[in-house]
Copies of this chain bind each other. A is one copy, B any other.
């Protein structure tokens, strides 16, 4: 087991100096084409692999971006993560993806590890919970940090934030359900007290308030399982409810499955609108109406804003809201009860 070859070995083999090899590695157009050929051949022959740690040590700029996601299992975030990675890859940046699993402690570890590995910037969708220390530490590094899709609960203004205009989306969904004839519209999902829950709920509340209608809200973890359970609760405790705006598509899909299980399939008298418009929404049965968020576009946008910050030092505006639009499908368009 011998050690990995270095540029010195390459240089010796190619009969040039290490500096020349370094220039070749960096794609400098200052080396003569034939010299470049020789060097490249030498590299291939002895199986040279670039040692990025050494390079970073000297040059301090790393083509590495960290991405910390609170729940990578959620397809919405998975889609964002993969799209962002691809957008950054196109610009020559590598992305390390990590999942904090809604655990502020794990999140702190992950962020720390990324800083140590010398990421040039960080994109984070924060876990719920107390994490001021993590963010203070992050702020001290002076690294470009973008909050996306979610904002931490305290110190909201520490880093620029970009997300969708959830309030407008839920208002649109609620108005749509009213137009379709619904009169008792519940809100289902979302952990109480969270900023994002407030946002996604606020549009619904404002519209119902303006109409003087009753407001039933069931809060809980935003999972399929909670949606199923919520279906039973609605049927048992709030039989008058004839429609629901859901915190996200997972809850909506669970809700629909729950109604189906109870023999009251959605589409016949009960209307549902979800949030996020994940791929599955168009492929469920009945197809799920959803507030679409063009997450792939958002990811590309995020990449562009991040690059502008990193490369041109152009700090993005502190808060950005991307418009959303309702995609009506069968789950909210069925015949009235």
Binding site for B on A (CB under 8 A): 1, 4, 47, 49-54, 56-57, 62, 64, 72-73, 75, 78-79, 81-82, 85-86, 89, 94-99, 101, 106, 109-110, 113, 115-118, 140-142, 224-225, 228, 253-254, 256-258, 260-261, 279-280, 283-286
Q: Is the CB of A78 within 8 A of B72?
A: yes
Contacting residues, chain B, for A225 (C-beta < 8 A): 283
Q: Are A85 and B57 in contact (CB under 8 A)?
A: no
**B50 engages A228 (CB within 8 Å):** no
Residues from chain B with a CB closer than 8 A to the CB of A261 are: 285
Give A172 Cβ to nearest chain B Cβ, in Å.
26
Is A51 within 8 A of B116, CB to CB? yes
In whole angstroms, what is the CA distance A99 to B67 when docked? 13
Say yes or no: B94 contacts A106, CB within 8 Å.
no
Copies of this protein in the assembly total 2
Is A49 within 8 A of B106, CB to CB? no
Quick check: A141 and B75 within 8 Å, CB to CB?
no
Q: A49 touches which one: B53, B56, B57, B116 (CB < 8 A)? A: B116
Distance, CA A1 to CA B106, complexed state (A): 30
In the complex where A82-B101, A89-B106, A285-B260 touch, is A75 in contact with B75 (Cβ < 8 A)? yes
B115 engages A49 (CB within 8 Å): yes
- From B85, B117, B140, B224, A280 is in contact (CB under 8 Å) with B224
A-B contacts, 6 listed (Cβ < 8 Å): A52-B53, A72-B78, A81-B99, A94-B113, A224-B280, A225-B283
For the complex, give the distance between the alpha carbons of A255 and B97 in Å.
Answer: 32
Say how far A53's CB is from chain B's closest CB, in angstroms. Answer: 4
Partner of A53, one of B89, B110, B113, B118: B118
Residue pair A101, B78 in contact (C-beta under 8 Å): no
Q: Is the CB of A96 within 8 A of B96?
A: yes
**Which of A54, A99, A256 counts the most chain B CB atoms within 10 A?**
A99
Nearest CB of chain B from residue A100's CB, rounded to whole Å: 10
A73 to chain B, nearest CB (A): 5
B285 touches A49 (CB 8 A): no
Question: Which 8 residue pairs are nearest across A and B when measured between Cβ atoms?
Answer: A260-B285, A257-B285, A52-B116, A53-B56, A224-B283, A97-B97, A96-B96, A53-B53
Least CB separation from A117: chain B residue: B52
Nearest CB of B to A194, in Å: 22
Q: A57-B57, A98-B97, A279-B224 are in contact. Are A81 and B72 (CB under 8 A)?
A: yes
Query: B95, A98: Cβ atoms under 8 Å?
Result: yes
User: Do B256 and A49 have beta carbons less than 8 Å apart?
Assistant: no
Docked CA distance A62–B113 (Å)? 12
How far does the Cβ of A225 sit from chain B's closest Cβ, in whole Å?
A: 6
User: Which of A75, A96, A110, A225 has the most C-beta atoms of chain B within 10 angstroms of its own C-beta?
Assistant: A96
Q: Other than the known A47-B140, A73-B82, A224-B283, what 15 A-B pairs have Cβ atoms closer than 8 Å?
A: A1-B142, A49-B115, A49-B141, A51-B118, A52-B116, A53-B56, A72-B81, A73-B75, A82-B101, A89-B106, A96-B97, A224-B280, A254-B283, A257-B285, A261-B285
